[in-house]
Amino acid sequence: MNLNKRQIFLFFCFVFANFCLLAQSNSSLRSQAQTAIILKDWYGASQCLNRLYLRDSLDVKLCYLYADVSRKNLDLDIALNLYTKVTTHVNIKKYPLTYYWIGQILKTKGDYKEAKKWFIKFSKIKLEDYKRKQSEIKYYLVKSKIEIEACEMSQILLKNKSDITQVHLESIINTNQSEFAAFEKDSTIYFSSIKPNLKIDLVDPIYSKIYTSDYRKSKWQKVKSMDTLFNSSVFHNANICFNSDSKQMIISRCKEKNSEEFLCDLYLSEFKNNHWQIPTKIDEPINFPNSNTSQANFGMLNGKQVLFFSSNRIGGEGGMDIWYSFQNNYGVFEKPINAGKKINTPEDEITPWFNVKENVLFFSSTYHPGLGGFDVFKTEFKNNQFSEVVNAGCPINTGFNDVYYSSSFSNNGNDFIYLSSNREGSFFEDKLNCCNDIYRFNLNNQIKPVLKLDSISLKKELLKLLVPLTLYFHNDEPDSKTLNVSTKKNYETSYNDYKELVPIYLNQFSTNLNGSAKQNALNLINNFFQDSVDSGMEDLKRFSDLLESVLKNGETVKITLKGYCSPLASTDYNINLAKRRISSLKNFFYETKNGFFKEYIQNGIGIGGKIIFDDLDVGELTASKASDDFKDKRNAVYSPSASSERKIQIIAVSFENK
């Protein structure tokens, strides 16, 4: 079809006009997204960013921002895919926290081994490379060390999971909104929720309220909203608690600061003349100006009544902290005391619950080593101080948010734990894991004791978690071109020599490639050395630290080793090479820690513990993916496939106490 000049002019005007509209639309969407982010409206921000991403999925800055917002909006699969895409971009160094957040998402999903790799990858970042973001990067570098420990601990906690029965309370109590802050008193459950569809509501349904339900004839009865004396029509109302003689009641009343944060104060009501009085705001210093003060719970310390609560007031360790205040004989609350650094951290500690029967404080935290999100922790009050914090274990904790632990005890032996969680199986309206539900656990089936962080049993479990422990070598190393079955080198020497060859590997594997193909090749080599070679060396050092403690306890430790080779040489040659590689690992144990393990390896006489090495058959992999053509050095020597086959492994570790 032939177009005249006027038609051509009109055509380009049309294209330009649509381009301008698109540009204006993009600008408007970015502005809306930014406003939503400021208000912490992650859902609104994600909707805008999704539209922008569909128009330009190659914009790495947009991709990273969309990933961040999706994570905060609990769209974990979307966030993981987007973060993973960012890692393949040439400008990944501009987004170092990508590695950390991938680790966090995998941790939430329960893939602790893979999550640990990403936290280790992030921990390798050099702080000096990020002058503009040093304080932020430094914080997460410290936190990544805790997360690495948490990934190890989580695998052990899952392995030692208790068989107590978990009950997801039925829909008469749980809805597709959030239910939380549940506890049982005299066969009545008290809890908080937003239930906009219940006809019994007499107050504004946009606010959370406090509800009750009686347990009769083996089932929960119709849910009732507490009256307007407690459920104010201009506040969110939640977190009810009673003192020891049930003559005082405290609730939290909150105003929204933004879509995620609240400003709360504690209100107290007294039971006088057979009636509860109108709740009044508790005076300072319990409530504190411009601070969030909520989630109160009464307890007893040294025979004195005390009020625990969570607050982000000044003077804490950071975020929400656990505080407590003694109540004197006149009912006056004394100056609040911060629960201290054993409990409180730079992040959030919330939902305290004091178990008077056991003299133990339970609370939830995102910082102490846990399975993911908020975990429940416990600490005993003993000798006028709180003991070291211990994770409450599984199934109390999951990779999601586990908060508002409470316990109830009765004379008939029906003892229960209540918990709020957005774990798998919780009800939701349109977003998985969006909302907390109430779960109950029967304490008649005793929870397994949680392993203490300094126990030998824990260290033995951690040693087992490290296997199979894989260590890698350069081609024909150590001691190339020999038939010897042993070497004088130790593995750490071979590792250091191998690392010096990284520039050669990068050059050889990317030669004759251009553009994205070249960048992909460079990424593969860098990832192999970081995720496999470096990770193996770190695991070996961790293994030796744990082994030292176990041996000092008098354990006999059997370490099973196996060697592998890539298929460039004859089988006989490869067998000898694999033996040399195993020899280098044994030399490492002889020489590391100033020769600490030497006596234990020789026979352990007089020192209690002992190391026994068990060597399995060695040789090349039976189904090799690497090239065996020596002329093709790119694939036979320098490729990640070939490199991954030049290895030895500690494939098992077992113990025998003398």
User: What is the domain-level CATH number for residue 139?
Assistant: 1.25.40.10
Distance (Å, rounded) from C-alpha 289 to C-alpha 438? 32
Q: Is residue 397 part of a domain?
A: yes
Q: Would you tell me how many other CB atoms lie within 10 Å of the CB of residue 161?
A: 14
- Enter the tokens of residue 168: 């997801």
316 & 465 share domain: no
Q: Which of 490, 456, 471 is nearest to 651 (CA)?
A: 471
Contact indicator for 99, 144 with CB cutoff of 8 Å: no
134 & 78 share domain: yes
197 & 225 share domain: yes
CA distances from 415 to 185, 446, 450 (A): 11, 10, 20
The backbone torsions φ and ψ at residue 346, rounded to the nearest 5 degrees and listed phi first, read -65, -15
Distance (Å, rounded) from C-alpha 610 to C-alpha 57? 58
Distance (Å, rounded) from C-alpha 32 to C-alpha 40? 12
Domain boundary among 383, 409, 442: 442
Q: Which residue has the tokens 């960048």?
A: 519
Q: Is 524 exposed, middle or buried (0-12, 13-18, 19+ CB in 10 A)?
A: middle
Task: Domain count for the chain, please give it.
Answer: 3
Q: Is residue 572 part of a domain?
A: yes
* 40-44, long-range: CB < 8 A, 24+ apart: 40/72, 40/258, 40/259, 40/260, 40/261, 41/258, 41/259, 42/69, 42/72, 42/73, 42/259, 42/260, 43/73, 44/259
461 & 435 share domain: no
Domain boundary among 410, 442, 474: 442
Quick one: DSSP state of residue 176? S
558 & 637 share domain: yes
Q: Which of 264, 186, 199 is nearest to 225 (CA)?
A: 199
| Beta bridge mates, 189 | 184, 213
219 & 342 share domain: yes
| Beta bridge mates, 267 | 251, 281
Cβ partners under 8 Å of residue 274, min gap 6: none
- Enter the tokens of residue 355: 């178990």
632 & 492 share domain: yes
Contact indicator for 379, 343 with CB cutoff of 8 Å: yes
Q: Which of 563, 528, 557 is nearest to 544 (CA)?
A: 557
Distance (Å, rounded) from C-alpha 307 to C-alpha 300? 8
Q: Is residue 17 part of a domain?
A: no
Instruction: Indicate the SS3 state at residue 99.
Output: helix
Distance (Å, rounded) from C-alpha 96 to C-alpha 115? 15
Distance (Å, rounded) from C-alpha 606 to C-alpha 228? 75
Q: Is residue 9 part of a domain?
A: no
Distance (Å, rounded) from C-alpha 619 to C-alpha 648? 10
- Enter the tokens of residue 618: 């060695």
Q: Are strands 209-216 and 188-193 parallel, antiparallel or unpaired?
A: antiparallel
Q: Is 15 exposed, middle or buried (0-12, 13-18, 19+ CB in 10 A)?
A: exposed
Cis preceding linkage at 468, omega within 30: yes
261 & 380 share domain: yes
Q: Is 79 exposed, middle or buried (0-12, 13-18, 19+ CB in 10 A)?
A: buried
Q: Is 572 exposed, middle or buried (0-12, 13-18, 19+ CB in 10 A)?
A: exposed
Quick one: DSSP state of residue 278? P
**Residue type (1 letter), 285:** P
250 & 386 share domain: yes
258 & 128 share domain: no
pLDDT, position 632: 83
pLDDT, position 337: 97
Distance (Å, rounded) from C-alpha 478 to C-alpha 584? 8
Cβ partners under 8 Å of residue 519, min gap 6: 90
Distance of CA 322 to the CA centre of its chain: 21
Q: Which of 506, 431, 428, 436 is nearest to 73 (CA)?
A: 431
Q: Is residue 4 part of a domain?
A: no
Distance (Å, rounded) from C-alpha 65 to C-alpha 560? 46
Distance (Å, rounded) from C-alpha 318 to C-alpha 305? 26
Cα-only R_g, the chain: 30
- Enter the tokens of residue 210: 């406090």
Q: Is residue 16 part of a domain?
A: no
Distance (Å, rounded) from C-alpha 262 to C-alpha 552? 51
Residues of the chain with pLDDT below 50 are: 1-3, 5, 7-22, 197-198, 200-204, 623
| H-only helix segments in 242-310 | none
- Enter the tokens of residue 93: 């160094």
Structural domain that includes position 145: 25-159
b/e 411-442 (16+ beta carbons within 10 angstroms → b): eeeeebbbbbbbbeebbbeeeebbbbbbbbbe
Instruction: Tally the residues of the chain.
Output: 658
CA distances from 389 to 59, 312, 361, 454, 618 (A): 44, 20, 10, 12, 45
Contact indicator for 456, 557 with CB cutoff of 8 Å: no
- Enter the tokens of residue 446: 């005793």
Quick one: DSSP state of residue 277? P
pLDDT, position 369: 95
Contact indicator for 470, 568 with CB cutoff of 8 Å: no
Contact indicator for 378, 369 with CB cutoff of 8 Å: no
333 & 382 share domain: yes
Contact indicator for 388, 381 with CB cutoff of 8 Å: no
Domain boundary among 442, 468, 484: 442
Q: Is residue 145 part of a domain?
A: yes
Distance of CA 332 to the CA centre of its chain: 40
| H-only helix segments in 363-511 | 456-465, 491-499, 502-510
Q: Is residue 20 part of a domain?
A: no
260 & 310 share domain: yes
pLDDT, position 134: 87
